[in-house]
Structure 1
Amino acid sequence: MSRDRDGTADAPTIQEKLPDPQRAPLRLSEFDLQDKVFVVTGGGRGLGLTLAEALVEAGAKVYCLDRLPEPDDEFRDVQTRLGPKYGGELLYDRIDVRQADDVDRVVARIAQRHGRMDGCVTAAAVQNVTPALDYPADKIMEMLDINYKGVYCTAVSCARQMIKYDCAGSILLVASMSGLVANRRLTSSVYNSSKAAVCQLSRSLAMEWAKIVNGKPIRVNALCPGNIITPMVLKNFEDDPKLKAAWEQGNMLGRLSHPHEYRGAALFALSDASSFMTGSQLVIDGGYTAW
């Protein structure tokens, strides 16, 4: 049983949640996020919310940051289901990741409230499927402001607070397999290259921050999902009715993924289970890039 600073008993850890016969003191404890604090951008719905949910189930306090004025029903449903039973908490704050000062202010306020910051997931992103020859030059920075600048600013803001409160922790940048290879039939060169930039950012920050917290690391890794069934992708299927079948045939498992299939990866990357992993790309794509 973990305890708050005043000595009162807190929620049970992962080990203590298991029935007595199943408890194994030397197992699973590295996945425990009890009392840790994280922010998840793009956490109002979709993949970001799904990853945040997994962290809360492991005991973390998770702030979902999104540009929605108020969280929608999907967020409320998850928040209600989680309740206090896992020892964590799911919270919401409005933010525009394109505004560096706004990101700094919100992240600093969260860290001050809890006296710590343990990491983040940068899931805020947009996509626009347009052939390169037709892509308006004045629209390029609109996407990069969210998909790259927003990721950069969030990671830096969290790192500042992790250093301030002496919290060695972990940052997970959501990239894409589209940042590693040419994703067939996804004619979105700006999106694809923005995700490639996120992959490189994870390597660069991992190098810079390997011993930055009094000799301890802020680990930085990139999650590279394959094709996921999300509202954004369903819109792609409406525009190109043959796209779904093509993507399904493009990977070894012959199907598309769902957001919940990345929960374990997020928990692994944000917890001590991945303590020797930094500067890596965690590719989960059904074998698409392994052909």
Structure 2
Amino acid sequence: MATRTISNAVLRSSSGSRPGSRSSSGSRSSLPPQAPTQSSPSSGTSTPPNPLQNIPIRFSSTNVPKINPETPQSLRKPVSDLFSLDSQVILVSGAARGVGLTQAAGLLQAGAKVHALDILPDPSLDPKSDFSIVKNTYPSSTLTYHRVDVRDQDRLNQIVSSIAEKEGRLDGLIAAAGIQREESALEYKKEDVDEMMEVNVTGVFMTAQAVAREMIKRKTKGSIVLIASMSGTVANRGLICPAYNASKAGVIQLARNLASEWGEHGIRVNTLSPGYIVTAMTAGLFEAVPERRKAWPDANMLRRLSYPEEYQGAAIFLLSDASSFMTGADLRIDGGHCAW
């Protein structure tokens, strides 16, 4: 009981004081004002004051944050609209089938007019391609095919220039053309290494160059996405692809340098680095090397392989106003493979 009496006395003393008032010793108190303590009717004990009781409301209907008057008009729209590619003209290389075609389908859904570039004579006649299905699925959008080898710089420049001339604009590029080859470093032939680098690095470079040239000519602040790979960051355990991995590392570094040069024109350049993807090619690899069917999924944190459609949203993000301040970056989507 004595303890309770002393405690209550102290509480009564502190609750009765005011800020700046002098204590019994003559010193000025620096304690903030406290709300009176409340006694519990059932127990008679005192409860501490609510520390939030006297805090004023910071926001109301009259003082909510306003849009910064300096924010560009292109960003003053709903977040969902920032991801729109409505009426934009976008090129996709390597788009006859596979990941490139899946990317083209995603762009069509986002409202873009897509020009697909690839080496096949006519993808609609290729039994391995779903090009016709994609084209017929989005009849309100435009999907046009152009045959070109990305190693043929003159032809590439001609096609890109003609597209820009016809459309009157060129807003974006996904450079997805590439080849893969699994070969021991001790067995690689020079001509095979040269081919890998010509397609995966030089071809990507020349495609980006042709598109950027038209953007600069028309003063278009466009976006360029180069498809790299997580293999450009790490050496794949159990997958011997020294030339391929080196080529994808080159693409990542290429993007940084292009971004530094073309940023003054408002052109953004980024890379998208996928992890292992379920494709017809990987299915064939699993047939040849069955142990990879388990080893590859186990190598990442999600314990599964990815699907081509899982990269559509990332590409739309990189091409749209949603990523308007992003350039020179690598967006790696690998299920956590490289984070171990």
Q: CA deviation at 1:34?
A: 1.4
TM-score (norm 2): 0.75
- Residue in 2 aligned with 1:76? 132
- Residue in 1 aligned with 2:200? 147
Within the alignment, does 1:287 sit opposite 2:340 as a pair? no
Within the alignment, does 1:253 sit opposite 2:302 as a pair? yes
Instruction: Give the unaligned 5+ runs of structure 1.
Output: 1-24
Instruction: Tell me the distance in 2 between the aligned counterparts of 1:184 and 1:91.
Output: 39
* More relative contact order, 1 or 2 (CA 8 Å, 6+ apart): 1
Q: CA deviation at 1:255?
A: 0.6
Q: Which amino acid aligns with 2:316?
A: L
Which residue of the other structure, out of 71, 81, 87, is the alignment partner of 1:29? Answer: 81
Q: Secondary structure at the match of 1:93?
A: strand
Instruction: Give the unaligned 5+ runs of structure 2.
Output: 1-76
Instruction: Tell me the distance in 2 between the aligned counterparts of 1:134 and 1:104.
Output: 35
Instruction: Tell me the distance in 1 between the aligned counterparts of 2:161 and 2:201.
Output: 21
Q: CA deviation at 1:103?
A: 0.9
Q: Secondary structure at the match of 1:69?
A: coil
Q: CA deviation at 1:174?
A: 0.1
Q: Secondary structure at the match of 2:146?
A: strand
- Residue in 1 aligned with 2:325? 276
Deviates more, 1:173-182 or 1:31-40: 31-40
In the TM superposition, what whole-angstrom CA distance separates every residue of 1:78-129 from its partner, at most 9, and x where no partner exists? 1101110xxx311111110011111101000000001111110010111011
In the TM superposition, structure 1's runs of 4+ consecutive aligned residues that sit over 4 Å from their partners are none
Q: Which amino acid aligns with 1:89?
A: T
- Residue in 2 aligned with 1:159? 212
Instruction: Tell me the distance in 2 between the aligned counterparts of 1:122 and 1:165.
Output: 20
In the TM superposition, what whole-angstrom CA distance separates every residue of 1:171-230 from its partner, at most 9, and x where no partner exists? 000000000011111101000000000000110001011112xxxx11000000000011
Q: CA deviation at 1:138?
A: 2.3
- Residue in 2 aligned with 1:49? 101
- Residue in 2 aligned with 1:113? 166
Instruction: Tell me the distance in 1 between the aligned counterparts of 2:88 and 2:191.
Output: 41
Q: Which has the larger radius of gyration?
A: 2
Q: Which amino acid aligns with 1:35?
A: S
- Answer whether contact 1:54 1:264 (CA < 8 A) is retained: yes
- Residue in 2 aligned with 1:226? 275
Instruction: Tell me the distance in 2 between the aligned counterparts of 1:209 and 1:233.
Output: 36
Q: Secondary structure at the match of 2:186?
A: helix
TM-score (norm 1): 0.87
Instruction: Tell me the distance in 2 between the aligned counterparts of 1:113 and 1:244.
Output: 46
Instruction: Tell me the distance in 1 between the aligned counterparts of 2:117 and 2:168.
Output: 19
Instruction: Tell me the distance in 2 between the aligned counterparts of 1:28 and 1:81.
Output: 23
Q: Secondary structure at the match of 2:120?
A: coil
Instruction: Tell me the distance in 1 between the aligned counterparts of 2:158 and 2:239.
Output: 36
Instruction: Tell me the distance in 2 between the aligned counterparts of 1:211 and 1:138.
Output: 38
Q: Which amino acid aligns with 1:110?
A: I
Instruction: Tell me the distance in 1 between the aligned counterparts of 2:286 and 2:206.
Output: 32
Q: Secondary structure at the match of 2:263?
A: coil
Map residues 130-279 of structure 1 onto 2, 5 A cutoff. 130-212=183-265, 217-279=266-328
Q: Which amino acid aligns with 1:109?
A: S
Q: CA deviation at 1:235?
A: 2.6
Q: Which amino acid aligns with 1:77?
A: I
- Answer whether contact 1:127 1:232 (CA < 8 A) is retained: no
Q: How many residue pairs end up in the alignment?
A: 261
- Answer whether contact 1:32 1:271 (CA < 8 A) is retained: yes
- Residue in 1 aligned with 2:147? 94
Instruction: Tell me the distance in 2 between the aligned counterparts of 1:241 and 1:81.
Output: 35
In the TM superposition, what whole-angstrom CA distance separates every residue of 1:110-169 from its partner, at most 9, and x where no partner exists? 000011111100101110111111111221101111111110000000000001111101
Q: Secondary structure at the match of 1:33?
A: coil
Instruction: Tell me the distance in 2 between the aligned counterparts of 1:196 and 1:68.
Output: 26
Q: Secondary structure at the match of 1:38?
A: strand
- Answer whether contact 1:228 1:257 (CA < 8 A) is retained: yes
Q: Secondary structure at the match of 1:120?
A: strand
Instruction: Tell me the distance in 2 between the aligned counterparts of 1:125 and 1:238.
Output: 22
- Answer whether contact 1:129 1:236 (CA < 8 A) is retained: no
RMSD: 1.3
